[in-house]
Every structure is written in C-alpha cells, then in structure tokens.
C-alpha cells in the first residue's frame, strides 16, 4: 500500500532525469542510477547546482595560510567560501572535525587584526566553541564561520600550533 509520502517521493523523483543535481540551500544532491530506479523523463526539469553555474563568474582573492611550522602557503580563494573549505581545497592541515556544525574548535584560526575587525561579530555558539580552542587569541575565529570577501585580499591566516580534538588517539577525520 502506498501512503501519501511515498507517492510524493515517487512523483518528485520521477521528475528528474538521471544524473541531475538538485540544489537546496548550500547542499547539492547528485541523483545516481543506483539510487533512483529508471523513470520516464516525460516530466524532466533542468536543475543545476548553484555552485556549478556561478563558478564561471566567481571572484577570487589571494590568501596566505601560515602553517604550524611557520611555513607560508599562498592560495587563491573563492569569495563566498569559508576558510575551512578553502583550507581543505588546498590541502592545508586545518581539521574541522565536526563538519562545520559548530560542535568543536578544531578549525580555529588566528586572523590579522585588520581582517578580524571587518568581520561580523561571532555568534554565541562560536564563542562557546572558541573557549575550548588551544592557543586562543584576541583575533581567533573558527574557520568554518569566516566567509571570505574581497577585503581578504592578501590576508594571512595563521593556524595554531595544536588543536583540541575529542579523539584520544589523535585521529584526524578525512575531508569530504
């Protein structure tokens, strides 16, 4: 027996052609053949990821990440991405154990004061997590909460010497 929610799901999913991406908020869900059984495409719509369509006219700024060993890594950062995403895209050792859910302080970064002063004030949830960060400074923020703007051109982002992770064995989760 099919209830209303199952009927809705089948109707909704049948409107997509296979391989289509649906963009909801910040998340993109690729539909694959193994996930969706073959449907007729008589009602297919053209959906695309917001990130895919905007990438051609995206703006970039130059940033410098300063690693724990004081080595500098210059990167080209897309305006609108957060510092944690940029670090992961460039293989910078910035952890992000909670997957940007404001449940840890492993993406703690130290910003130059001129950039820090231009940012919106941290939410109380971010402040609570920063209290747990190793090597907290007056210009500390969580990388997952700092969205890059044009004003970041040439900014230096310093990684602290250590992080406080919930894992006892020093395990670092892999980036998605």
Tell me how far apart the alpha carbons of residues 151 and 155 are, in angstroms, rounded to a whole number: 8
Answer yes or no: do 62 and 140 share one domain. Answer: yes
What's the pLDDT score for residue 174? Answer: 56
Q: Which residues contact 81 (CB under 8 A, 6 or more apart)?
A: 89, 147, 148
Q: Examine residue 66 and state whether it is found in any structural domain, yes or no.
A: yes
Number of domains in the chain: 2
Answer yes or no: do 66 and 135 share one domain. Answer: yes
Answer yes or no: do 44 and 68 share one domain. Answer: no
* Residue at a domain's end among 52, 76, 92: 52
Contact status, residue 18 vs residue 33, Cβ threshold 8 Å: yes
Q: Which domain holds residue 29?
A: 4-52
Answer yes or no: do 39 and 22 share one domain. Answer: yes
Q: What is the CATH number of the domain that holds 98?
A: 3.10.20.30
Q: Examine residue 92 and state whether it is found in any structural domain, yes or no.
A: yes
Q: Examine residue 165 and state whether it is found in any structural domain, yes or no.
A: no
Answer yes or no: do 88 and 18 share one domain. Answer: no
What's the pLDDT score for residue 115? Answer: 96
Tell me how far apart the alpha carbons of residues 92 and 80 are, in angstroms, rounded to a whole number: 18
Q: Examine residue 42 and state whether it is found in any structural domain, yes or no.
A: yes
Answer yes or no: do 32 and 95 share one domain. Answer: no
- Listed as ranges, residues in the chain with pLDDT below 70 are 1-56, 164-176
Tell me how far apart the alpha carbons of residues 67 and 61 are, in angstroms, rounded to a whole number: 19
Contact status, residue 47 vs residue 20, Cβ threshold 8 Å: yes
Q: What would the two tokens of residue 48 be?
A: 């695309």
Global pTM? 0.64
Q: 46: exposed, middle or buried (C-beta count within 10 Å: 0-12, 13-18, 19+)?
A: exposed
What's the pLDDT score for residue 165? Answer: 63
What's the pLDDT score for residue 163? Answer: 76
Contact status, residue 141 vs residue 168, Cβ threshold 8 Å: no
What's the pLDDT score for residue 28? Answer: 46
Number of other residues whose CB lies within 10 A of the CB of residue 41: 13
**Tens digits of per-residue pLDDT, 49-100?**
444 444 567 899 999 999 999 999 999 999 999 999 999 999 999 988 888 9
């Amino acid at each position: 027996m099919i209830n209303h929610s199952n009927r809705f799901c089948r109707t909704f999913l049948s409107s997509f052609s296979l391989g289509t991406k649906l963009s909801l908020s910040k998340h993109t869900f690729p539909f694959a053949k193994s996930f969706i059984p073959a449907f007729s495409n008589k009602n297919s719509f053209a959906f695309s990821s917001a990130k895919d369509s905007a990438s051609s006219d995206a703006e970039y700024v130059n940033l410098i990440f300063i690693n724990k060993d004081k080595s500098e890594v210059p990167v080209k950062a897309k305006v609108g991405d957060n510092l944690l995403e940029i670090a992961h895209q460039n293989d910078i050792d910035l952890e992000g154990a909670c997957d940007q859910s404001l449940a840890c302080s492993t993406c703690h970064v130290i910003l130059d004061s001129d950039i820090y002063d231009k940012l919106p004030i941290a939410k109380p949830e971010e402040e609570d997590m920063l209290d747990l960060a190793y090597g907290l400074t007056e210009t500390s923020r969580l990388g997952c909460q700092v969205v890059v703007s044009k004003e970041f051109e040439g900014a230096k982002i310093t990684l602290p010497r250590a992080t406080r992770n919930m894992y006892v064995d020093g395990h670092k989760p892999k980036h998605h």
